[in-house]
Amino acid sequence: MPDGRRIAERYELLEQFGQGGMGDVWRGYDAVLDRPVAVKLIRPQAVTSPHLAEEFAKRFRREARITARIQHPGVPQVYDAVLDESYEQLFLVMELVDGVPLTAYVDPARPLPVSWAVAVAAQVATVLSYAHDVPVVHRDLKPGNILVARDGTVKVLDFGIAAILQTDVTRLTATGNPIGTHQYMAPEQVRGGRVTPRTDLYALGCVLHELLCGRPLFSGDGEFHLMMQHVNAPPTPLRRLRADVPEELEELVLHLLRKAPEARPVDVQEVYERLRPFLPPPGEEAAPDGSGPVGAPDPTGIFRRPYAPRSRAGAANAPRAGADAGVDAPPVVPAAEREALREQIREVAEHYRALLEEQRYTQAAEVVDEVIEPAARALGSENKAVLRLRMYRARSAASSRATSADARDNLAQAARCRGELGQVTEALAGLNGVLDVVRSVDGDVSEEAVELRRDIGMLLLAQGRTADALGVLDPLHADLCVVWGPDDELTAEVAETLAVIRLDLDGGPAGSPA
């Protein structure tokens, strides 16, 4: 049932669908951009006072900007972070991923095909390669943080979030606990030592070992015992637990699980190259024993058919060629059941029209989607009511696509024109409105967001609001130095403007009123 809460006047909580170590996860709806989102409610223990909340929010913004640089389809985007007015709760608004965590597929009684497990590990390795180049270290890689989407794409969750919540543990949580999950924690994490990209490699070794043998690397009573095994106990070679694991793959996993970080593979690129021999080549058909658990997505597909188009809608149920291929004979459905379905369709149509009036196009499409297939099975795909539902679905999808980058660009250009006409207040309101949307879609350091922030700062400066301009341009300069480098032309331009602003604020002649 919907929670009824609305966050920051735009994000609605619809349904709780998960719990994690840091908080609860909700299926949400972004009323501004008309799209589904995931909303993670961070438990109040993470932010225990207004002072810590403000410090925490600053840390989050810094980390989120860096995390946004991991431009990879395997990294779900973080759209927004919202502190409530009491400073007691933090809401992280994220991309909603339709997938299943690896924990659902680990079963000691049903070992996963080697190619399935290796394809997951290889996809995780590509994600880590992009992250480590930023550099960002995940620190909490585990099966619960790895999803396999319907199309077989592997998604790595919570990049930077665990580190943000527990960085400087003594000050933020006062627990003194090391960062990570005990079953996948590298020895240096247990000891509280320096975390590096090779820490993630150890965790990847734990995950791959578990996928191949169906049980965690170590088990025992209590967290302390688990952590000490990671520090001192040798891992069991995979071929003792499963004879069909290739010897070279066993050697790679043992290499990943070495106790000393410097003894592990030099980087994740080396790991990927050593996984490649066990991946299917492009064009190869799926092996009969390589598809994984019944009903599970196939992570080998992106290696067998890279850059393949999406599957046709309804392709799995397409009729076979033959004498009956064009016949649409719906099953016999009792009259009472057919009438109940027609009543449901009428209710859906009313709900659909109400959502369209509120410009909730994505939700309107989802409402229709829920009834299209049951109606087609019961009434036939050529039934007028079913065809009308498909038309509704197409119309709402088209309306949703209309809220595009072109629309944002038009709004921004209109605001800039107002600024040139001297309507600075209206121009600032327009640019800030577009910036809010761009931030939620592409983050704070996309090219579009950077231009908007620069324009807002210059408008504020032109209006004589020097301190406000500094508040916009100073963090922009810091972001540009990280993302584009200090030698970039725009970075240098903003730096020069900041020098003039600071001279003005210090009482110098530049920019002083006559």
Q: What is the pLDDT of residue 513?
A: 38
Q: pLDDT higher for 247 or 89?
A: 247
**Please, what CATH class does the domain formed by 1-96 belong to?**
alpha beta
Averaged over 252-277, what is the pLDDT?
Answer: 97
Contacts of 75 (CB under 8 A, 6+ apart): 67, 127, 130, 131, 155, 156, 159
Q: pLDDT higher for 115 or 162?
A: 115
pLDDT digits (tens, 9 = 90+) for 126-158: 999 999 988 889 999 999 999 999 889 999 988
Task: Categorise residue 380: left if φ over 0, alpha if ψ from -120 to 50, beta otherwise.
Answer: left
Is residue 258's pLDDT more than 50?
Answer: yes
pLDDT digits (tens, 9 = 90+) for 55-85: 666 666 666 676 677 889 999 888 887 777 6
The span from the CA of 196 to the CA of 478, in Å, is 24
Q: pLDDT higher for 23 or 109?
A: 109
Is residue 470's pLDDT more than 90?
Answer: yes
Nearest in space to 185 (alpha carbons), one of 66, 177, 351: 177
What does residue 201 show for φ and ψ, rounded to 5 degrees? -65, -40
Name the catalytic one among 30, 140, 444, 504.
Answer: 140
Q: How confident is the model at residue 115 (pLDDT cuts 50, 70, 90)?
A: very high
Q: pLDDT higher for 111 or 253?
A: 253
For the sheet with 78-83, list strands across it: 6-7, 11-19, 23-30, 35-42, 90-94, 78-83
Q: How confident is the model at residue 425 (pLDDT cuts 50, 70, 90)?
A: confident
The span from the CA of 27 to the CA of 18, in Å, is 9
Radius of gyration for the chain, computed over Cα atoms and rounded to the nearest angstrom: 27
Is residue 512's pLDDT more than 60?
Answer: no
pLDDT digits (tens, 9 = 90+) for 443-461: 778 888 899 999 999 999 8
Q: pLDDT higher for 88 or 499?
A: 499
Percent of the chain scored above 70 by pLDDT? 77
Q: What is the pLDDT of residue 315?
A: 46
**Hey, what CATH topology would domain 405-505 get?**
1.25.40
Active-site residue, 140 included: yes
The span from the CA of 284 to the CA of 398, in Å, is 36
- Burial class from Cβ neighbours inside 10 Å (0-12, 13-18, 19+) for residue 406 reads exposed
Q: pLDDT higher for 244 or 438?
A: 244
Q: What is the pLDDT of residue 213?
A: 95
Q: What angle do CA 230, 195, 25 make, to 5 degrees?
A: 85
8 Å CB contact between 287 and 113 = yes
Q: How far is CA 6 from CA 28, 29, 52, 95, in A?
A: 9, 9, 24, 17
Helix-helix angle 50-67:466-483, to 10 degrees: 50
Highest mean pLDDT among 198-212, 278-292, 329-343, 421-435: 198-212
In the chain, the amino acid numbered 280 is P
Q: What angle do CA 255, 128, 254 make, to 5 degrees?
A: 10
What average pLDDT is seen over the chain? Answer: 80
Helix-helix angle 384-401:361-379, to 10 degrees: 160
8 Å CB contact between 330 and 382 = no
What does residue 38 show for φ and ψ, rounded to 5 degrees? -105, 135
Q: What is the pLDDT of residue 71?
A: 82
Has domain 98-306 been given CATH number 1.10.510.10? Answer: yes
In 118-252 the beta strands, taken as DSSP E runs, fall at 146-149, 154-156
8 Å CB contact between 268 and 201 = yes
Q: What are the residue boundaries of the structural domains of the chain, listed by start?
A: 1-96, 98-306, 335-401, 405-505
8 Å CB contact between 183 and 206 = yes
Is residue 3's pLDDT more than 50?
Answer: yes
The alpha-helical segments, DSSP class H, found in 9-89 are 50-67
Averaged over 351-362, what is the pLDDT?
Answer: 78
